[in-house]
Amino acid sequence: MTDETSSPGLRERKKAARREALISASHELVAEHGLDHVTVEMICERVGVSSRTFFNYFESKVDAVLAIGPWALDDAAVAAFVDGGPTGNELDDCAYLVTQLLADPPVAHERLHTIMELARREPSLIARQMAWFEDHRTTMERLVARRAGVEEPGPREALTHELLGLLLRSTYRHWESSGCADDPVRHLPGVVDDLRSLTR
């Protein structure tokens, strides 16, 4: 085995490609047969992998359809936010954090429209999506609590988390209404301006 084929970078690219293939297969099969009639085995067969490999990536077929995965944040961005930065203004700093989230989302931007369409047709997908958002809520509220210097998140930290969620959701809505043709982050400044004007 050469250094190139054994390099972490190549392995990570292969893992990412396999994950994308599983997501694509799940979308195709759900569009063809409906969610209830799709199995993990069908997804695996289309991609050419074992069910064991599938479960290395997703906990269920629903997670594959929704492309559920970790929403990573850059360590430097987390440190800046926790330290009260980068500007000291809560709205602007939340927008900064959302910018970082949009830079490395668990779902590729070009897939979001497909996932939204499938969720409209398959209500059970929405329940899982909401559960994932709740998991994400806990992580983000703890991050906000660290910024506030408190042990446990309280109502104030929950409110800041809601602001983060509002910025993220509104940015995606603006992006979707524009036809999903560009990078969602381009719509964030307009959302921030709208919020600022509403609170004057």
Question: What are 62-86's pLDDT values in tens digits?
Answer: 999 999 887 778 899 999 999 999 9
Whether 6 has a pLDDT exceeding 60, the answer reads: no
Output 31 or 123, whichever has higher pLDDT.
31
**Separation CA 78–CA 71 (nearest Å):** 13
Q: Is the pLDDT of residue 2 over 70?
A: no
Predicted confidence band of residue 89 (pLDDT cuts 50, 70, 90): very high
Categorize the per-residue pLDDT at 126 as very low, low, confident or very high, splitting at 50, 70 and 90.
Answer: confident
> What would the pLDDT profile of 153-180 be if each residue is shown by its tens digit?
889 888 998 999 899 889 988 988 888 7
Q: What is the pLDDT of residue 8?
A: 62
Residue 28: is its pLDDT beyond 90? yes
Q: What is the mean pLDDT of residues 33-50?
A: 97
The percent of residues above 90 in pLDDT, for the chain, comes to: 52
| Mean residue pLDDT across the chain | 88
Radius of gyration of the chain (CA): 19
127-156 burial: b if 16+ Cβ within 10 Å, else e: ebbeebeeebbeebbebbbbbeeeeebeee
Q: Label residues 85-122 b or e (16+ Cβ within 10 Å = b).
A: eeeeeeeebbbbbbebbbeebeeeeebbebbeebbeeb
The confidence score (pLDDT) of residue 134 equals 77
Q: Which candidate, 110, 111, 76, places its Cα nearest to that of 96?
A: 76
Question: How many residues are there in the chain?
Answer: 200
Tokens of 131: 């559960």
pTM of the model: 0.74
Q: 123 is written with which tokens? A: 């209500």
Q: What are phi and psi of 56, to 5 degrees?
A: -75, -20
Which pLDDT score, from 0 to 100, does residue 137 have?
79
Q: Which of these, 102, 66, 63, 99, lies nearest to 81 by C-alpha position?
A: 99
What is the structure's pLDDT at 1? 46
Domains of the chain: 1-68 (1.10.357.10), 69-200 (1.10.357.10)
* Lowest-confidence region among 17-21, 91-95, 136-140: 136-140
